[in-house]
Amino acid sequence: MSDIRPTVPSLHEPGRIHPVPGSGLAAENERLRAELAAAQRRLEERGLFLAIMSHELREPMNGVLGMARLLRDTALDAEQAGYVEAVIGSAEALITLVNDILDLARIDAGRSTFTLVDFAIRPFLERLALVFRQRAEQKGVAFVLQLAPDLPEVVRGDPGRLRQLLTNIVTNGIKFTSEGEVRLAVAPADATAGRLGLAIAVSDTGIGIPEDRRADFFSPFAQADAQTTRLFGGSGLGLMIAQRLAATMHGRITIAPPVGPGTTFEIHLELEPPLAAAPRRDRAAIAGARLLIADAQPRTARIMAELARLWGLEVRVTKSAAEALTVLREGADRGAAFDFAVIDRALPDRRGDSLGPVLRTAPGQAGLKLILLVSAGVRGDAASVQALGFDAYLQKPVTASTLLDCLQQLHGSVGQGELLTVHALGEARSQKLRLLIADDNPVNCKLAAIMLSKAGHEVQIVTNGQEALDAVTEIPFDAVLMDVQMPVMGGLEATRRIRALPDAAAAGLPIIAITANAMRGDDDDCFAAGMNGYVTKPIDRATLLATVERLARAAPAA
């Protein structure tokens, strides 16, 4: 744990008020001490007030935002879809503002802390890019993620804080870009001894920042100019918070000199090396295999090739159907047949999916596994692709984890089995769980139940801590989602009583706090009571599912 230190002096800092020497000034010293104590009380009262207001705002916003997102996934006409997107956009903006105000208050009070964990940096950035890409496409702007092939596999830091920093910078770029692209590039960088450096550049083709406005651009409520405020609005709180977070990660954020339209933020961070060798997926099975990539887009082909080489594969890249067929046949003729072929549907000389029947009947290609890449799928695609002889069907952009999972599952399989898709790969990594939800808010219960049920999990609902305690003594659950504030018995007390049960399974039962309390430090009470995880409202579906499945898999068998 490490503390965020305010960049401006404040009364809570040690040594800020010094006693005045001399016995004749004892009264003055006492007055200064009283002022310091009063200032500290005001900070504590403000923090308590913000925590209460955060809870009161988040509780109803969880229902508004969660249900609106579920409604968006139903059958809507164009007008209805527009209304739903407006509701979601407004709710997300409100939550962002609440989060920014809370973060600034925590930083000012010196209460913001970091939780350090080992995490895989490349999958983390790829998942984050999916969110950025969706936001950019909603504005008609392209988003590009550029990751250096020699990034460290595992680092130690606070992924939540890193996500917050990058989100603040990237979404700022998307906000101020009307056309063109926003690019996030990450590469290794020099660092002080014992740390791992990251060089991050966030560039956009937006309106740019005048030279005379850069010095104070990270100040709260600062905008580049009045016209910017009128066109795009906003307070600039997110950039100020990002600058503070970078400083805590032994880094800094600067604005690069302009070399064209738009703005480039350069971020240097220093993270810690992992404490121990991080668990890695078994790549030995595909190391040494031969992979052909047929894709006319150089950047897409290059990224896939670099990743595959890092996994120990031998890679050949082609740009057309004719070249791919020639390379595959030459390999088979000389006894070096390819194990995998990743083929883009949109090849310049021939549709990529038309190569399926040709390769399935070609000499020496019996063991070849065919993977088709498509930019956008249509109804019935999966069935037709499988009929053409393909083994997997993936939509662009393909993440490293998806590509690796696909290659691992196809390697060594005999014949043509079920078609692998992103959905099938996700299901293979998950398991059906029996879950208990304890929450007195019926809307929040329904929302969480829908999210979990759609992922294939079995859900039971209770409305207070006593009912949760009774339920876990009767039914073996894989995990419990526990609201903190409930009538009859709150979630913290219910957790303590579950942990005190004589049943050995109760001691290892994962209990996850689902709460509207979002002040840093609120999670300490949950973990002290015996909870294993902490998810704040409004509930993010991906975060909820990932937390539940991670903790349930890690729990000891009953």
Task: List pLDDT tens digits, range 524-543.
Answer: 788 889 998 888 777 877 67
d(CA 288, CA 279): 21
Residue with more model confidence, 77 or 111: 77
Inter-residue contact 240 to 223 (CB < 8 Å) = no
Q: What is the DSSP string of 387-412?
A: HTT-SEEEESSPPHHHHHHHHHHHTT
Which of 44-58, 353-367, 432-446, 497-511 shows the highest mean pLDDT?
A: 432-446
Which of 12-21, 309-318, 425-434 shows the highest mean pLDDT?
A: 309-318
Average pLDDT over residues 191-200: 91
Among 28, 99, 29, which Cα is nearest to 57's? 99
The helix or strand, by DSSP H or E, that contains position 292, with its residue range, turns out to be strand 290-294
Task: List pLDDT tens digits, range 83-110.
Answer: 888 888 788 778 777 777 776 666 655 5
pLDDT at 477: 92
d(CA 302, CA 100): 38
Residue with more model confidence, 243 or 233: 243
Q: How confident is the model at residue 73 (pLDDT cuts 50, 70, 90)?
A: confident
d(CA 415, CA 426): 22
Query: Is residue 52 predicted with pLDDT exceeding 60?
Result: yes
pLDDT at 216: 61
Considering just the CA atoms, what is the radius of gyration of the chain in Å? Answer: 27
pLDDT at 13: 43
Q: How confident is the model at residue 555 (pLDDT cuts 50, 70, 90)?
A: low
Query: Is residue 356 predicted with pLDDT exceeding 60?
Result: yes
Residue with more model confidence, 423 or 4: 423
Phi, psi of 21 (to 5 degrees): -70, 155
d(CA 41, CA 44): 5
Task: List pLDDT tens digits, range 455-476.
Answer: 778 999 999 999 999 999 988 8
For the chain, what's the residue count?
A: 558
d(CA 23, CA 20): 9
Residue with more model confidence, 255 or 343: 343
The β-bridge relationship of strands 458-462 and 479-483 is unpaired
Average pLDDT over residues 290-312: 87
Write down the mean pLDDT value for the chain. 79
Q: How confident is the model at residue 441 (pLDDT cuts 50, 70, 90)?
A: confident
Residue with more model confidence, 471 or 299: 471
Cα 191 from chain centroid? 25
pLDDT at 3: 42
Cα 465 from chain centroid? 31
Domains delineated in the chain:
34-109 (1.10.287.130), 117-271 (3.30.565.10), 290-429 (3.40.50.2300), 434-554 (3.40.50.2300)
Asked which of 180-194, 371-385, 420-434 is least confident by mean pLDDT, the reply is 420-434
pLDDT at 133: 85
d(CA 256, CA 169): 14
Query: Is residue 293 predicted with pLDDT exceeding 90?
Result: yes
The SS3 assignment for 5 reads: coil
The SS3 assignment for 447 reads: helix
Torsion, Cα 458 464 465 470, to 10 degrees, reads -60
pLDDT at 472: 92
d(CA 439, CA 484): 8
pLDDT at 11: 36
Residue type, 425: L
Task: List pLDDT tens digits, range 471-518.
Answer: 999 888 999 999 988 999 999 999 999 999 887 667 789 999 987 765
Task: List pLDDT tens digits, range 21-45.
Answer: 555 577 777 888 888 888 777 766 7
- 10 Å CB burial of residue 68 (0-12, 13-18, 19+) is buried
pLDDT at 235: 46
Task: List pLDDT tens digits, range 328-353.
Answer: 988 877 767 888 999 999 999 999 99
Residue with more model confidence, 169 or 54: 169
d(CA 391, CA 372): 8
Average pLDDT over residues 38-66: 72
pLDDT at 199: 96
Inter-residue contact 151 to 188 (CB < 8 Å) = yes
Q: How confident is the model at residue 413 (pLDDT cuts 50, 70, 90)?
A: low
pLDDT at 438: 95
Written as six digits, the tokens of 447 are 């929302």
User: For 236, which DSSP code?
Assistant: S
Which position has the token pair 């088979």? 332
d(CA 98, CA 537): 12
Phi, psi of 494 (to 5 degrees): -60, -40
pLDDT at 554: 66
Report CA torsion sign: 69, 75, 80, 82: positive
